[in-house]
Amino acid sequence: MDKNRPMYTDLEDRLTKKYYREIVEKALTQAKEEYEQFPNSSLNISFYNQLMDIKKTVIEDHEVYTEEEAYQKYPMAVMVVRNFLGEEADSEYANMLQDAVWGISLYPAMMENIEIIKQKLFDGDEAAGVKEVFEIGNQKFKFSDFYDNPLRELKKEIGDRSFGAIIKECKFNFINSFIEKYTSEKGLEIYYLKKNDAFYLFSCGEYQPGRHMMFLEGVCYNKA
């Protein structure tokens, strides 16, 4: 494996429509290059044609498939396992081809994108922070808007897979206590607020004795 090559991020760890489309487009570009270099390879032709069909039916036409239907219609993932050997089997191209099929049945329920922000909103006395109004883009927020929405409740709205992707992407920590709890890299508890087609993720709490901090950790979009 080339140590200088950036590591491939599995779709499972960044489960968004935006990233899925990027995977399909990048895999298509490489499949086209492979096909042009080796035009007589039936494997290259098949990969290219399957990817083109995924782009049209799944991404553009929004057709819905079960996992079983996806693997039956697009045998690309199985073909990779059977035909790629050694380092090639763990290459970025092999992973993209497999993720392109694995993500088909999940695509309709994926979030559009997860934007990591990590923006400090407040640092000071708790009483002052409660009264603050924070303007983010064209939206205004108050501490009371999200304080009753701990992050664990978001799982009920978006499902386990998308929730898990948020935890990994934002690098939140799971605290195994009596009540399920998630914290930021600074150890502050995570809360969320749904506005329009987006989920805003906040962290807040006592960072040091008498010192309270609040951050906008990120925004998860349901639509482009």
3 state DSSP class of 111: strand
List the structure tokens of 86. 């050694």
The model's pLDDT over 87-135, given as tens digits with 9 standing for 90+, comes to 888 899 999 999 999 999 999 999 999 999 999 999 999 888 888 898 8
Q: CB neighbours of 199 closer than 8 A, spacing ≥ 6?
A: 154, 157, 158, 192, 193, 219, 220, 222
Find out whether 52 and 125 touch, Cβ atoms under 8 Å.
Answer: no
Q: Measuring CA to CA, how many Å separate 164 from each of 67, 156, 170, 179, 182?
A: 19, 12, 10, 18, 12
pTM of the model: 0.87
The amino acid occupying position 199 is F
Q: CB neighbours of 136 closer than 8 A, spacing ≥ 6?
A: 119, 200, 216
Find out whether 174 and 167 touch, Cβ atoms under 8 Å.
Answer: yes
Query: How confident is residue 1, by pLDDT bands cut at 50, 70 and 90?
Result: very low
The model's pLDDT over 165-215, given as tens digits with 9 standing for 90+, comes to 999 999 999 998 788 999 999 999 999 999 988 999 999 999 999 899 999
Rounded Cα distance between 158 and 167, Å, is 13
Tell which residue, 169, 194, 195, has the closest CA to residue 182. 169
